[in-house]
Structure 1
Amino acid sequence: MKVKKAILFTVLSVSAVCATLGAHAEDLLNTVKSRGELMIGMEGTYPPFNFRDQNGELQGFDVDVGKALASKLGVKPKFYTAEWSGLIGGLQAGKFDVVVNQVSITPQRRQSLDFSPPYAYSAVQVLQKRDDKQEYRSLEELKGKRVAVTLGSNFADLAKSVPGIIVQTYPGMNEALGDLVSGRADAYLNDRLFVPYLIKTANVPVRGGGLLKNTSNEIGIPYRKGNPDFSASVNGAMTSMRQDGTLATISKKWFGTDVTRPVGN
């Protein structure tokens, strides 16, 4: 009987200790503040969002957003790079505090992660020859048209989902743009966030056309669940960055336009 009581006491004691530790688990905000750094995960190979310049320094839209967020939190940014396939797993494992890498906010991801308010809004956009006056606002309007898409992309799947669209696949952006400019394709589908940068850097006679209906997408910053203080601070920082014009300034630097506002499609 004494042995049973001793075992029961031990089990209860361990349970009480675990409950106490769980109740007083340190919020991520305290960890970040104590460390003095916000650990930020990204690919580092995804221009114009995040990439290394000729000196090996990280640059890009996401990099500047990460720096601004760290500044609002009163700490320094520290960047870590990894392949896309390892970013969310690395976040969950505590290798970094946040991921700033064009992560779409989806119901599935919200089940295991918390997100900041959106800092960019994407959608599928049509690229056309500069002198093409036709406007496309839906996939249905592209029926009978030769639509260029990159092989294996979401845009290819989207175009193939509508019977009547003449889907032309290409191994890369340059080949697709070449056929668009030469008239061998009528339109080219790409990401609304990437189109301004493409037009700015490609130096070919193309223009951004319409945003396709029902393809809007919100981009946010994910972090681990169970950190209410950190969540409140990040949300406050991102709201402040929107209100004081920080997000708009960063966007115009990289895209020449403000992609931090809802696209309304």
Structure 2
Amino acid sequence: MLVRKVLIAALLGITAASAMAADLLDSVKQRGTLRVAVEGTYPPFNYKDNGQLTGFDVEIAQALAQKLGVKAEFTTTEWSGILAGLSAGKYDVIVNQVGITAKRQESFDFSDPYVLSQAQLVVRKDDSRNFKTLDDLKGKKVGVGQGTNFAEMLKAVNGIDVKTYPGEQEYLQDLALSRIDAALNDTLMIPYLIHKTNLPLKAGAGVGEPSLNGIPFVKNNPKFKAALNKALADIKADGTYNKISTKWFGRDVSKPVAAQ
């Protein structure tokens, strides 16, 4: 009986040691690929041009994978289910402007921030109401993307009639048609969206505090977290990050505009 107990304990010890060694970094290295999720419909961050996936996030993910010694392998999926897919192990990371929030940190670990962004209003060109704060929008209809940080920001203010949409095209169209009073998006996105849609809209006031975007992955992978953060630091140190950022935005988007 004693021998049997010793054998069982030994087997359990081996299992525990194996579990402790099972870090995402080991899987990524063994596989030779970093599985990256993006929407694929979110220009200029990630989108398809002539059938090829491109954009700021795509190039950042490729640069990080290279520093890790592997290749980036992309999966495109809708924003509404992208975090659930990460939980289910369909991919290793999401490189898609995911805001680092306390709620998300309950379920996922994040890399160090790689983009600093801020919420900004979009209004009609002929609208003279001059909204400056979220409080100015009480009693007004405001369009926003479903499941985004901006939707949570609006819902936290009592009195705003928040209208959620699957994508920017839908709520900007409604804004142009006066079905809603304003829209809310990322300050990095708005110039591109207004240019792309060619709708009679303009950028409004920035609202709220700047937010930090990071790369989420499943918890309890300390070796992967350290390696990913080192890769991010390396592409900043060698100028790769600044080159990619300047290509897509004309500046380093990891820093506040005032600091550049």
Shorter-chain TM range is 0.7 to 0.9
Give the deviation of 1:66 after TM superposition: 0.9
1:120 aligns to what?
115
In structure 1, the residue corresponding to 2:59 is in which secondary structure?
helix
| 8 Å contact from structure 1 (residues 241, 247) kept in 2 | yes
Provide Cα deviations, 1:95-140, integer angstroms capped at 9, x if missing partner: 3222212222122322332211112223320224558787644223
1:38 aligns to what?
34
Residue 259 (structure 1) aligned with residue 246 (structure 2): no
2:221 aligns to what?
227
Residue 173 (structure 1) aligned with residue 171 (structure 2): yes
| 8 Å contact from structure 1 (residues 42, 79) kept in 2 | yes
What residue identity is the alignment partner of 2:44? P
2:96 aligns to what?
101
What residue identity is the alignment partner of 1:42? V
Give the deviation of 1:44 after TM superposition: 2.3
1:5 aligns to what?
2
What residue identity is the alignment partner of 1:210? A
What residue identity is the alignment partner of 1:190? N
Instruction: Give the Cα separation in 2 of the matches to 1:89 and 1:169.
Output: 23
Decide whether aligned partners of structure 1 residues 90 and 126 sit closer, same or farther in structure 2, where only a CA change above 3 A counts.
closer
1:247 aligns to what?
241
Instruction: Give the Cα separation in 1 of the matches to 2:199 and 2:34.
Output: 40
- Structure 1 portions without partners, runs of 5+: none
Instruction: Give the Cα separation in 1 of the matches to 2:96 and 2:181.
Output: 31
| 8 Å contact from structure 2 (residues 142, 162) kept in 1 | yes
Instruction: Give the Cα separation in 2 of the matches to 1:190 and 1:30.
Output: 37
1:198 aligns to what?
193
What residue identity is the alignment partner of 1:98? V
Q: TM-score, normalised by structure 2?
A: 0.76
Decide whether aligned partners of structure 1 residues 43 and 132 sit closer, same or farther in structure 2, where only a CA change above 3 A counts.
closer
Which stretch shifts more, 227-236 or 5-14? 5-14
Give the deviation of 1:168 after TM superposition: 8.8
Instruction: Give the Cα separation in 2 of the matches to 1:22 and 1:196.
Output: 48
Q: TM-score, normalised by structure 1?
A: 0.75
Percent identity at matched positions? 43
2:13 aligns to what?
16
Q: CA RMSD in A?
A: 3.5
Instruction: Give the Cα separation in 1 of the matches to 2:232 and 2:156.
Output: 37
Provide Cα deviations, 1:42-87, integer angstroms capped at 9, x if missing partner: 23233333222332x2122221221121122232211123344543
In structure 2, the residue corresponding to 1:11 is in which secondary structure?
helix
| 8 Å contact from structure 2 (residues 155, 162) kept in 1 | no
Residue 111 (structure 1) aligned with residue 106 (structure 2): yes
Instruction: Give the Cα separation in 1 of the matches to 2:164 and 2:220.
Output: 44
| 8 Å contact from structure 2 (residues 134, 157) kept in 1 | no
Residue 138 (structure 1) aligned with residue 136 (structure 2): no
What residue identity is the alignment partner of 2:43? P
Instruction: Give the Cα separation in 1 of the matches to 2:221 and 2:196.
Output: 41
What residue identity is the alignment partner of 2:8? V
> What count of residue pairs does the alignment treat as equivalent?
252
Give the deviation of 1:220 after TM superposition: 0.7
Instruction: Give the Cα separation in 1 of the matches to 2:104 and 2:66.
Output: 26
What residue identity is the alignment partner of 1:28? L
| 8 Å contact from structure 1 (residues 139, 159) kept in 2 | no
Structure showing greater radius of gyration is 1
| 8 Å contact from structure 2 (residues 122, 182) kept in 1 | yes
| 8 Å contact from structure 1 (residues 102, 219) kept in 2 | yes
Instruction: Give the Cα separation in 2 of the matches to 1:196 and 1:136.
Output: 18
Decide whether aligned partners of structure 1 residues 225 and 66 sit closer, same or farther in structure 2, where only a CA change above 3 A counts.
same
Decide whether aligned partners of structure 1 residues 246 and 210 sit closer, same or farther in structure 2, where only a CA change above 3 A counts.
farther
What residue identity is the alignment partner of 1:45? T
Provide Cα deviations, 1:226-256, integer angstroms capped at 9, x if missing partner: 3333222211221233344433443343345
